[in-house]
Amino acid sequence: LAQLFRPLDLLGMVYRTIRQGVLDMGAMFDLIDTGAEVRDIPGAPALAVGAGHVRFEQVRFGYEEGRPILDGLDLDVPAGTTCAVVGPSGAGKSTLARLMYRFYDVDGGRILIDGQDLAAVTQASLRAAIGIVPQDTVLFNDTIGYNIGYGREGASAEEIAHAARGAAIAGFIERQPDGYDTRVGERGLKLSGGEKQRVAIARTLLKNPPILILDEATSALDSRTEGDILETLEAVERGRTTIVIAHRLSTVVKADQIIVLDGGRVAERGTHGELLRRDGLYAEMWARQAAEREEALAAE
Ligand code: ATP
C-alpha cells in the first residue's frame, strides 16, 4: 500500500506513520481524501464484473504536463491469466497499477475491464473488483482480526479465520494469548515483513476479487519465508486475472505473459523463454540480475 500511495504526496506525519507500518483509521481516511482526484461521472453504473479481462488501449498518462510516463501503452490480459510487468526503475510499473485502481484518470486512451471503461463506472464498484497485495502492508492500530476483516465489511469471525488459514497465518494467530483479539501496531504485537504480507493475502482472500495486483517486495525475505509466501500467493492467484510488478525470477518464469516497460511503452512482450531467445532488454536484465545473485552468493 505504501508503494501505491507513495505518489500522493502525503502529509509528512501520515507518511512517517505509514513508514512505521501502522496507521489508524482517521489517518487512513485523510490519506484517501488526499487522493480524491477522480470523480464518478453522474449516474455512472457499477462495473458489471465478469471473468476479469483487462485491457489497456493506447493509454497515455503523466503526473506533470510535458512529461509523459505512459505514452501509448497497449496491454491485453485475458481473464484468469498472469501478466508480469518488469522494466527499469521509474519506467511506470507502479503507475500502471495506480491507473487500474483509478487513483488517477488517464490523459488518453482507455482501460477496460470486461469491456467497460474504468472511467465510466463507479470507483466503489471498480475497487471492489480489484485486490491489491502491496510491498508494504499497512496495519491498523487494532486487533489482528480487525486487520484481516478489513478486507470485506461485515465478514464473520469464521470467515476471517478461514481467510487466515488460506494465507497460512492462522497458526501464528492462534498461538497468541488473545488469538484474533491480539492488538497489533504501535502498542501491540509487531509483525515481520512476511507476516504482514500474509495479513494482506488474508484480506485479499476475504475480498475474493476477480482481479489481483501484486507488488512484489524488492527487499529480500529469508529464502524459506519467501518460498512459503510464494506458495500461498500461487493459491491466491489461481483463477484470477493477476498483474504482478515482478522483481523475482520465479514469478516471471511462470507468468503467462511478461511485458517490459521502457520509455512509456511496451518495449518487449512474451513468455520468459520467448524473451530470452529475443536477446533484447529482458535478456540483458536477467543476465545482469543473475550476475548480481552470483556475486551476492560468493560474498556470503
Ligand atoms: P520502481 O521500479 O522504482 O518502483 P516504477 O517503474 O514503478 O519504478 P513509477 O513509480 O510508476 O515507476 O514512476 C514512474 C515515474 O513517475 C518516475 O519517474 C516517478 O518519479 C514519477 N512519479 C511517480 N509518482 C509521481 C508523482 N506523484 N508526481 C510526479 N511524478 C511522479
Reported as a single tens digit per residue, the pLDDT across 187-227 is 788 898 888 888 999 999 999 999 999 988 766 566 667 77
What ligand 1 atom has the least distance to the C-alpha of 245?
7
Residue 242, H or E segment: strand 241-245
pLDDT digits (tens, 9 = 90+) for 109-142: 999 999 999 999 999 999 999 998 888 888 888 9
Supply the residue whose CA is at minimum distance from atom 9 of ligand 1. Answer: 92
What's the rounded mean pLDDT across residues 263-275? 94
What ligand 1 atom has the least distance to the C-alpha of 91?
6
List, in sequence order, every beta strand (DSSP E) within 51-138. Answer: 54-61, 70-77, 82-86, 108-113, 116-117, 130-133
State the distance from the centre of ligand 1 to the C-alpha of 5, rounded, in angstroms. 11
> How much is the pLDDT for 293?
73
Supply the residue whose CA is at minimum distance from atom 31 of ligand 1. Answer: 63
C-alpha–C-alpha distance, residues 192 and 153, integer Å = 25
233 confidence band (pLDDT: 50, 70, 90): confident
State the distance from the centre of ligand 1 to the C-alpha of 37, rounded, in angstroms. 17
Q: Is the pLDDT of residue 34 over 80?
A: no
171 confidence band (pLDDT: 50, 70, 90): very high
> How much is the pLDDT for 220?
55
- Full-model pTM: 0.83
Give the residues surrounding ligand 1 with Cβ less than 6 Å away.
Answer: 7, 63-64, 69, 87, 89-95
Residue whose CB lies within 8 A of the most ligand 1 atoms, among 9, 94, 289, for a mutation test? 94
State the distance from the centre of ligand 1 to the C-alpha of 69, rounded, in angstroms. 8
pLDDT digits (tens, 9 = 90+) for 48-75: 999 999 999 999 999 998 899 999 999 9
> How much is the pLDDT for 15?
43
Between 27-31, 90-94, 279-283, the lowest mean confidence (pLDDT) is in: 27-31
